[in-house]
Amino acid sequence: DAGVIQSPRHEVTEMGQEVTLRCKPISGHNSLFWYRQTMMRGLELLIYFNNNVPIDDSGMPEDRFSAKMPNASFSTLKIQPSEPRDSAVYFCASSFGDRGNQPQHFGDGTRLSIL
């Protein structure tokens, strides 16, 4: 079975450019999560969706960040304009169920470097 698929695996771009990260969750999972991992702040939850609806975006750092989930099999995290401090590894994860006691399945992440 395919796991959570993220693309690209690596992204290097100059500050001010728009960055779009993509995620395909595991088929049948109905919750999707976007995380950011940095040395300083560890693993931070940015936003999560349940049944394609954003439930909690309180972790989104600024208006420069936006996330969408147009259907059950695809989500994007967009940064516009990007800044050097956005450099981090971004993970997408998915899980099944509404009760919340299900483990999350993570993709291998996108390593983002903003120059």
**CB of 82 or CB of 95, closer to other proteins:** 95
> Least distance to other proteins from the beta carbon of 39, Å?
10
Distance separating alpha carbons of residues 4 and 15, to the nearest angstrom: 28
Footprint of other proteins on 40-99 (CB under 8 A):
42-43, 45, 48, 50, 55-56, 91, 93, 95, 97-99
108 binds other proteins (CB under 8 A): yes
Choose which of 4, 8, 78, 86 interacts with other proteins (CB under 8 A): 4
**From the CB of 14, what's the least distance to other proteins, in Å?**
24
**Least distance CB 46 / other proteins (angstroms):** 12
Please give the sequence-ordered ranges of beta strands (E in DSSP) within the chain, or none if there are none.
Answer: 5-7, 10-13, 19-24, 31-38, 42-50, 53-56, 65-71, 74-79, 88-95, 105-106, 110-114
Q: What is the DSSP letter of 62?
A: S
Q: Distance between CA 50 and CA 97 in Å, rounded?
A: 9
End-to-end CA distance of the chain: 36
The answer to whether 17 and 78 have CB atoms below 8 angstroms apart is: no
In the complex, minimum distance from the CB of residue 89 to other proteins, in angstroms, rounded to a whole number = 9
In the complex, the residues that contact other proteins under the rule CB under 8 A are 4, 31, 33, 42-43, 45, 48, 50, 55-56, 91, 93, 95, 97-109
